[in-house]
Amino acid sequence: MRIRNNLILLLLIIITDLTAQTLKATFDDALNLYQSKNYSSAYDLFKSISRDKSVNENEKSSSLLYAAECLSKLNQLDGAAS
């Protein structure tokens, strides 16, 4: 039973780490798109990050800020204010 519990704990740690790595990779991809002036695609990724329940408040705030910046660059200011 103890081995089973340890394996479950290890599995949860691995899944959590993979989720964090995936989130970081997605944020990096979005940031690269933003820097390449591909604002529409960057916006979609930043919004998806901000909707993810596993992100902390800092990650969510950064993603929403960049999403609003993308809309501003696309001259869609009504969406940037919401």
Mean pLDDT confidence for 56-79: 90
Mean pLDDT in residue range 36-60: 92
Q: What is the pTM of this model?
A: 0.73
Q: Pick the range with the lowest mean pLDDT from 26-30, 51-55, 65-69.
A: 51-55
Our separate counts of H helices and E strands in the chain read 4, 0
Residue 81 backbone dihedrals phi, psi, to 5 degrees = -85, -15
Quote the pLDDT of residue 77. Answer: 73
The CA distance from 39 to 76, in Å, is 11
Q: How far apart are CA 34 and CA 67, in angstroms?
A: 9
Quote the CA–CA distance of 37 and 17 in Å, as a whole number: 30
More confident residue, 81 or 51: 51
